[in-house]
Amino acid sequence: MKYYIGVDLGTSAVKLLLMDQEGQVVNIVSREYPLSFPHPGWSEQNPEDWWEQSKEGIKELISKIDATEVAGISFGGQMHGLVILDENDQVIRPAILWNDGRTTKETDYLNQVIGKEKLSEYTANIAFAGFTAPKILWVKENEPENFAKICKIMLPKDYLAYCLTGVHCCDYSDASGMLLLDVKNKCWSEQMLEICGVSREQMPGLFESYEKVGTLKPEVAKELGLPETCLVAAGAGDNAAAAVGTGTVGDGQCNVSLGTSGTIFISSENFGVDPHNALHAFAHADGHYHLMGCMLSAASCNRWWMDTIIGTKDYGKEQEAIENLGENHVFFLPYLMGERSPHNDPQARGTFIGMSMDTSRADMTQAVLEGVAFAIRDSFEVAKSLGIHIERTKICGGGAKSPLWRKIIANVLNIKVDRIASEEGPALGGAMLAAVADGTFASVEAAAAKIVKVVETVEPDPEIAKKYETQYRKFVQIYPTVKALFPKLS
């Protein structure tokens, strides 16, 4: 029996999944690490923490199997984070993460001075505050001594791949979110490297997500108790890896992810760009392409509301009191960390509106769940405007475990929502990519066809969907109305 390890390098924890060659999940281990906010709107992590917790997690993960049968490791990882290494491959400064909002000035420079048309021509995308290129410009401007030391620029999961193999690598799906990749032609954009003041030599080698980048370094294999023959595949950005794990591969498939961030992910065999750049046009882990709308706070909104505001861990009990879907008088803008798709506004903030003396705790909880669903629909509407017809979607992420939230998503989007047997998204996708790299499956599509099973479909209720249509038309008026206030509040 062969085994494959999928590493989901998240924002709050690394989740490690062990899958056998038949696609059965054998074990799952999770290890947390700290997140730091050195200034309001900043978000950083120490890459060494990822590596230490991943190592400990792998040891625990394989403790009950014959570790010599582990044939491959691959990844799904938090995207966009800037990891910079010096000439000795030592981390220069803490990683600046995807949800860091410090680069407003650099993002404006790229979009306004370089120009959105040029950026879209070079990379198929425009600048967003979370992307990697603005972070490079920020370091260049604010930490010139650190900028001068840079020998390699990496993304979070690729730092793990480097620690395992000694190879500086990156896959096309994750590289797509750097604003440094010519997505259509799958190569580094010479124009963007020049704009950022970095060289091709400072960039990692590029691979398809399912390609082998190397094998374990002997000392690492010994420390982990794994064979030196264990291959490492390039892996994918978390959303592309989650799409693999939910079978959202091939042409015209859709996946909604309710993780820390929220995404709507539409796979395509052909390269295409949203002319308004509200959706990202990225490479996919199956070797093709995808369009993606990304909101910065999704299930994290519910966690914030439950843990920090209400002070409870019993999420299910709070949702039991919610009954009348589509009739709530309270609305919530889920922009706790600013927003990306489709507004591209790092200064946007979370907002409740519509409360009255009879507003209940359940109304507020419902508004949070609905606000996330409405914000996902914002990106869904952009996809529809491009002529993309979607009748159903897969769903994954922590928020997808809530039957109520699945029902809200189905009715707000007015499409069928398929829940799959494993909700492990990026970790399962990573293990599947390792299995493809090892030849157990001929392609990513073949792996998905064998492994991914739909266990439940939530159908929209015509009456509820009609009510949510009315509610959504109210929701879309809130952000444009209050938008001018956000810069004054920050």
pLDDT of residue 250: 87
Relative to beta strand 236-237, strand 231-233 is unpaired
Q: Which H helix or E strand runs over 156?
A: helix 156-165
Neighbours of 392 (CB within 10 A): 16
- CB 73 within 8 Å of CB 157: no
What tokens appear for 482 in the block? Answer: 């209050």
Query: CA 244, CA 254: separation in Å to the nearest integer?
Result: 11
Q: How many domains does the chain have?
A: 1
Residue 201: the pLDDT is 98
Indicate whether 92 belongs to any domain: yes
Binding site members for substrate? 79-80
In a domain, 490, yes or no: no
Which residues of the chain carry a pLDDT beneath 70?
none
**45 falls within a domain:** yes
> Phi and psi for 348 in degrees, rounded to 5?
-60, 150
Other CB atoms closer than 10 Å to residue 486's CB: what's the count?
A: 19
**Over the stretch 184-203, which tens digit does the pLDDT of each residue have?**
999 999 999 999 999 999 99
CA distances (Å), origin 44, targets 39, 76, 103, 308: 10, 19, 13, 21
**102-139 per-residue burial string, b: 16 or more CB within 10 A, e: under 16:** bbbebbebbbeebeeebbbebbbbbbbbbbbbbbbbbb
Report the C-alpha dihedral over residues 301, 305, 309, 315, rounded to 10 degrees. -140
DSSP letters, 239-299, are HHHHHHHTT--SSS-EEEEESSSEEEEEEESS----TT--SEEEE-TTSSEEEEEEES-SH
Token code pair at residue 181: 């990749």
Give domain status of residue 231, yes or no: yes
The pair of three-digit structure tokens given for residue 475, joined into one six-digit string: 């929701």
Q: Which residues pair with 20 in a beta bridge?
A: 3
Give the per-residue pLDDT at 83: 98
Query: Distance (Å, rounded) from C-alpha 482 to C-alpha 490?
Result: 13
The amino acid at 358? D
Output the pLDDT for position 263: 92
Does residue 66 belong to any structural domain of this protein? yes
Global pTM reads 0.89
Q: What is the domain-level CATH number for residue 172?
A: 3.30.420.40
| DSSP code string of 421-488 | S---HHHHHHHHHHHHHTTSSSSHHHHHHHH--EEEEEPPPHHHHHHHHHHHHHHHHHHHHHGGGHHH
Measured on CA atoms in the order 89, 93, 95, 100, is the torsion positive or negative?
A: negative
- SS3 of the chain: helix, strand, coil, percent, to 5: 40, 25, 35
- Check residue 389 and give its pLDDT: 87
Residue 405 lies in a domain: no
Residue 72 counted as domain residue: yes
pLDDT digits (tens, 9 = 90+) for 80-137: 999 999 999 999 999 999 989 899 999 999 999 999 999 999 999 999 989 999 999 9
- The CA distance from 462 to 234, in Å, is 44
Domain enclosing residue 139, as ranges: 3-239
Active site residues: 238
Whether residue 69 is contained in a domain is answered as yes
Distance, in Å, from the CA atom of 180 to the CA atom of 170, rounded to the nearest integer, reads 12
